[in-house]
Chain A
Amino acid sequence: MAPITVAHYLAVGAVMFVAGVLCMVTKRNALGVLMGVELVLNGANINFVAFGSKLLRAESLGLDGQFIALFVIVLAAGEAAVALAIALNFYNNHTTIDVDRADDLKG
């Protein structure tokens, strides 16, 4: 069996990223789209952690990659809070959170 290399982690990250983008594009429920956002951000996180690990280089890079991932996780939590407020406001005005109903503005 081939050893696990950083390329495998990159593949997982890329799959998560693409899955997240697909989720954002196809889901009609605003909360479903929000889950896609989480997938996309965490796809990038996997890359950071993989690049910072010892799989890629013999010498240590310190914890920079892991710290970026932690920052992003906290940010994603903050954005989710704001996103829920936005979704609630949308629901109050449209009585649905179907994003396809957001079609009033055009010109």
Chain B
Amino acid sequence: MFVDSETIRFLWPELILVLCAAWIYLGGTFRGSRRWWVAFALAAYLLALGVILGLEGPATTSGDRGGLASGPILVDQLGMICRCFAILVGILLTLLMSKSTRHDLGSEYQGTLMLLVVGLMLVARANDLVLLFVSLELISVPTYVLLFLGRRDRGTSEATLKYFLLSILSSAMLLYGMSFLYGLTGTTSLRGIQAAVSTQPSVAALSFASLGISPDALIYLSLVFLVAGLGFRLAAVPFHFYAPDVFQGVTHANAALLSVVPKVAGLLAFTRLVILGFPQAASQAWEILLVLSILTMTLGNVCALWQQNLRRLLAYSSIAHAGYILIGITVALADSQRAGDSQGGVAAALVYVVVYAVAALGSFAVLAYLGSEQNEVHGVDELAGLARTRPFAATALSICMFSLAGLPPLAGFWGKLVLFLGAVQTSSGGLTVQVMQWFMILAIAGAINAAIGAAYYLRVIATMFFRAPAKTLDAEGGDGAAVVMLVCASLVVAIGLFPGIALNLARKAEASLRAPVSLAAQDPDRSQPRPVEHAWHAPEPPRTNL
């Protein structure tokens, strides 16, 4: 874990955003205008996006697809694609929050949101336990502040407290699990852990054995804690309890944030840490996650059936979608047991989380748009007859909900299709009869759940189209929310019509995940990165420099 100037060069996009966030915090005390700071934040995101594409486009696409390891970060396709997506999420949330905040808190809101986006970008490229943990916290801490700033009433203060306590407990469990990984392997580099765990018996394992502690037991212990810590971020059963209450208590914009950002971060951390870090424990890991996946999607979908509060309904929908994402992770874990072709579990999960994020952001944007600062939209019944009173909002919400339900030809359909196909392929090419049976059950459970899920989305859509309007909603959410609504609905349709582009990007990202990395830093000849098989054997500078 040594940082040199090369690493700093790769971190420019994040540094730009951090500096801009600091500037927003400082400048906000002198200039209060909310509109001005929204424009400033948007410009900062676009600048960072430009730097990413300009700086790393060549670095990640040239030569082999493996990417470079530089200090605690990994420069590869997966990181690059996910960081572009993080900036897109940042832009959409900035627009969505542009009017839903109190006027005098506009700058604090935008600065905090920007730090959160930086956290998400760093999770996407972390190659080190320390950086991974710190960047996950860089997402969590601003989230607490944003939830707290959203509104100051009883419900919000309760939701914030609940989210904070459970989130910090999950972080602590993650940290505890990481401590065992560090102890077993003696390194904090994720690639190093991957290699050290697969070359048994390591020196550490022997020294544990001499203490009477079985190294295998420690691996499983670590696995359970990591799954618990990351499962909270995905909102997977049994760590989902917070979601309905918290979503109900916070504003629509914050609920959108909670349904998207922790999920993406959780999936990325799962990918880098669990799927790659546990080659031997993979057989136990996929069994745990398969059961969690079935439980999560069933519980989420069944509980959503009788919800009357829209944010509660979308919270259970968010839990159900966590279950679908876990299908992809399970398939990827089962794949990692054998050397052959990958069934694309990670790629499917990545596509799915993007598709879900866009549709969920769109749904919450419509709800935010329909309300006003005094009167938020709460119940499903309030949407009655929306197709007649607010046809555009109703259309956008229907598109997003149809996609969440997984109806063709929208994006959600392709997301579910690749996930279920992965499970079916694993079941047909499985190692043993048992594996085949389990994955067949998983695929069937997914299909049944897709049918259950369609019921409650269609209920909302039917309320909008087939019931007489009770009252006209304010629709004072502002232009920002309207733009987000339009962008998300068009993205859902676009991905639905051209799924190949998204799938190819995700496959490239997955390929880069397993490819060997080369070292960028400490190499005299920068133009030809020296292929080093084990990146953690980097010639380290003398420890006294630390």
Q: Which residues of A contact B (CB under 8 A)?
A: 5-7, 10, 13, 17, 20-21, 24, 30, 33, 37, 40-41, 43-44, 47-48, 50-52, 56-57, 59-65, 67-68, 71-72, 75, 78-79, 82-83, 85-87, 89-90, 92-94, 99, 102-107
Contacts and interface: CB of A to CB of B under 8 A. Distances in A.
- State the 9 A-B residue pairs at the shortest beta-carbon distance, nearest first: A51-B183, A47-B179, A40-B172, A44-B175, A105-B245, A102-B158, A44-B176, A93-B157, A90-B157
A7 B213 contact: yes
B194 interface: no
B169 A37 contact: yes
A62 B543 contact: yes
B339 interface: no
Interface in B159-187: 159-162, 164-165, 168-169, 171-173, 175-176, 178-180, 182-183, 186-187
Contact of B164 (A47, A50, A86, A92): A86
B172 A41 contact: yes
Given A93-B152, A93-B153, A102-B162, A79 B182 contact: no
A103 B157 CA distance: 11
A23 B374 CA distance: 39
Interface string B69-109: 00000000000000000000000000000000000000000
13 contacts: A7-B213, A17-B172, A21-B169, A30-B161, A41-B175, A44-B175, A44-B179, A47-B179, A47-B180, A64-B188, A90-B161, A102-B162, A105-B246
Contacts of B212: 7
B216 to A, nearest CB: 16
Nearest to A6: B211
A103 B155 CA distance: 9
Contacts, number: 148
B372 interface: no
Q: What size tier do the contact residues of chain B reach? A: 35 or more
A37 to B, nearest CB: 5
B165 A107 contact: no
A75 B119 CA distance: 14
B56 interface: no
B169 A40 contact: yes
A72 B175 contact: yes
- Of A65, A86, A93, the most chain B CB neighbours within 10 A belong to A86
B291 interface: no
Contacts of B129: 68
Contacts of A30: 161
B164 A51 contact: no
Given A37-B168, A86-B164, A107-B312, A51 B153 contact: no
Contacts of B173: 40
A5 B211 contact: yes
Contact of A37 (B159, B172, B308): B172
Tell me if B's interface is mostly helix, strand, loop or mixed: helix
Tell me if A's interface is mostly helix, strand, loop or mixed: helix
A51 B161 contact: no
B175 A104 contact: no
A56 B248 CA distance: 48
Interface in B112-169: 129-130, 133-134, 137, 141, 144-145, 148, 152-155, 157-162, 164-165, 168-169
Contacts of B133: 68, 71-72
B433 interface: no
Nearest to A64: B188
B144 A86 contact: yes
A89 B148 contact: yes
Interface in B514-528: none
Nearest to A67: B130
A24 B169 contact: yes
Contacts of B395: none
A48 B129 CA distance: 12
A65 B152 CA distance: 40
A56 B372 CA distance: 60
A86 B169 contact: no
Nearest to A66: B546
A47 B211 CA distance: 15
Nearest to A51: B183
A35 B208 CA distance: 32
B26 interface: no
Nearest to B166: A24
B186 A57 contact: yes
A106 B158 CA distance: 11
A46 to B, nearest CB: 9
Contacts of A21: 169
Nearest to A103: B158
A57 B207 CA distance: 7
Contacts of B540: 62
B440 interface: no
A92 B157 contact: yes
Contacts of A33: 165
B228 to A, nearest CB: 11
B168 A79 contact: yes
Contacts of A13: 179
B183 to A, nearest CB: 3
Nearest to A68: B130
A61 B182 CA distance: 10
- Of B144, B159, B169, B249, the most chain A CB neighbours within 10 A belong to B169
- Of A48, A62, A105, the most chain B CB neighbours within 10 A belong to A105
A86 B141 contact: no
A74 to B, nearest CB: 9
Given A44-B172, A82-B148, 9 more contacts: A37-B172, A51-B186, A64-B182, A65-B182, A85-B148, A87-B161, A93-B152, A94-B158, A105-B155
Contact of A106 (B130, B207, B245): B245
Nearest to A87: B161
Contacts of B546: 62-63, 67
A67 B545 CA distance: 14
